[in-house]
Amino acid sequence: MNFDRKMKLASMALLFLLTLPVPALVQAATFGHTGKASQVGRTIRITALDIRFDKIRLHVRAGETIRFIVTNKGQLTHEFIIGDAREQAEHEQEMKKKAGMGMPDEPNGITLKPGQTKTLIWTFGLEGEVEFACHVPGHYAAGMVGKIFVGANTK
């Protein structure tokens, strides 16, 4: 194989690598991932009401694992979805398409019928701002969203 051909192959390989969805992976890692029960350091209880959460600001540390116990004390179905602004926007669109059919529980979110209590264990990623929100149509716009400030890991 001559030098020119090697260079051509190398640049093709590089182009292929550039097409891999690396930004999506990085994005997903920044706001965290499902946590393990054995790593839970703290429990935070949240109540969903019509149409808001009882808490609107939470403070956690990067890498901290929290057990969220969410109770729906409203008359309507509500969600508790953890994600950065982009994740929340995507989920809002998905829910609009489904016209309020309700989503199955996902790693980063749960759906609660009136009276239901569910647990979600989440390990936060990098420092920054994350949101918890409900995307039953109209609820996010009505303010059913809270901020989670992820601070430096000082442990």
Report the run of H or E that residue 15 belongs to, with start and end: helix 3-19
Task: Take residue 132 and report the two structure tokens written for it.
Answer: 């918890």
Closest contact distance (angstroms) between CB of 101 and Cu ion is 14
In the range 71-90, which residues lie near Cu ion by CB under 5 A?
Answer: 78
35/83 with CB nearer Cu ion = 83
Name residue 107's amino acid. P
Residue 144 touches Cu ion, criterion: CB under 5 A = yes
Closest contact distance (angstroms) between CB of 103 and Cu ion is 12
How far is the C-alpha of 80 from the C-alpha of 78, rounded, in Å? 7
Q: What's the first-to-final CA gap in the chain, in angstroms? A: 54
- In the list 66, 82, 133, 136, the residue contacting Cu ion (rule: CB under 5 A) is 136
Residue 28 touches Cu ion, criterion: CB under 5 A = no
Closest contact distance (angstroms) between CB of 53 and Cu ion is 9
How far is the C-alpha of 22 from the C-alpha of 120, rounded, in Å? 27
Residue 91 touches Cu ion, criterion: CB under 5 A = no
CB 136 within 8 A of CB 76: yes
Question: Could you list the residues that contact Cu ion (CB under 5 A)?
Answer: 78, 134, 136, 139, 144
